[in-house]
Amino acid sequence: MVTYHTLEVKGLNIFYRKAGNPDKPTILLLHGFPSASHMFRDLIPVLEKDYYVIAPDYPGFGNTTSPDRKEFDYTFDHITEVIEAFVNKLELDKYALYVFDYGAPIGFRLAMHNPERVTAIISQNGNIYREGLGSKWATREEYWENPTPEKRQSYRTAFASETIKHQYIDGTRENTVSPDGYTLDITYMKRPGNDEKQLDLIFDYQTNVKMYPEFQQYLRKYQPPLLAVWGKNDVSFIPEGAKAFKKDLPDAEVHLVDSGHFALETHANEIGELMLDFLKRNHI
């Protein structure tokens, strides 16, 4: 049974979903943009019999506190700092990481800070290689190099209603994606002041790309068991990003499913079963 909680961390109320027995191995689920922990609503029931599952919402996302930009720096380093404090407060000493989209740079920062805690990594369209960057990223890198106000404003399209909907449905078979997820995300993104916070994070994403070599070095040094499950029709993080894990982890398992960016919307059961098999074979 999934239960719903808030935990005070660094003056913020962090909302999170919890399921399973805390005496069993932990899986920390880290969501992506423009979503929140509700993206795991179909995956958690697959995992909860065998694992203790924790899925937080980041500051500025979902049901977690969304502080003003004057009071909170919306950067990936800062969000990681909050999630790390959240993990510490819950006393999660060991956990497998599930990383998706924004969850990848946050999760890999966590792993680098405390490598002894990470039992395994499941990456679902969670990219840390330049090979995995789709064609849109060339324009984004131009913006990072020349960040004019006009270019910043142009990225408002990233959280427009139609853009969010297409993040969900592009690359999927017709009529297979429920409107629940993208409708909720659209509502969250429309909250007053959220636009500028999200624009801050889009600009700060450049720090993640710059850290790719550090994330890769972490993999080479610590060799965590890794499962990459990728929606192969994702145009943001293309399948080459999944395959690239094998450069640093020759034993990494790579599975491509016939879906798009939000692969859990169509393949939650399949991804969950792949996870269970992978974790059990690695004695986790």
Residues noted as catalytic:
261
Task: Please give the Cα distance from 87 to 106 (Å, whole number).
Answer: 13
CB 84 within 8 A of CB 110: yes
Give the tokens for residue 165.
């909907």
In sequence order, what are the beta bridge partners of 256?
230
CB 50 within 8 A of CB 94: no
Q: What is the DSSP code string of 70-85?
A: TTS---HHHHHHHHHH
In sequence order, what are the beta bridge partners of 255?
229
* Strand runs labelled E in the chain: 3-9, 12-19, 26-30, 52-56, 95-99, 118-123, 226-231, 253-257
The residue to which tokens 């609503």 are assigned: 41
Closest C-alpha to 108, from 93, 129, 92: 129
CB 69 within 8 A of CB 17: no
CB 247 within 8 A of CB 274: no
List phi, psi (to 5°) of 155. Answer: -80, 5
Q: Give the largest Cα separation in the chain, rounded.
A: 52
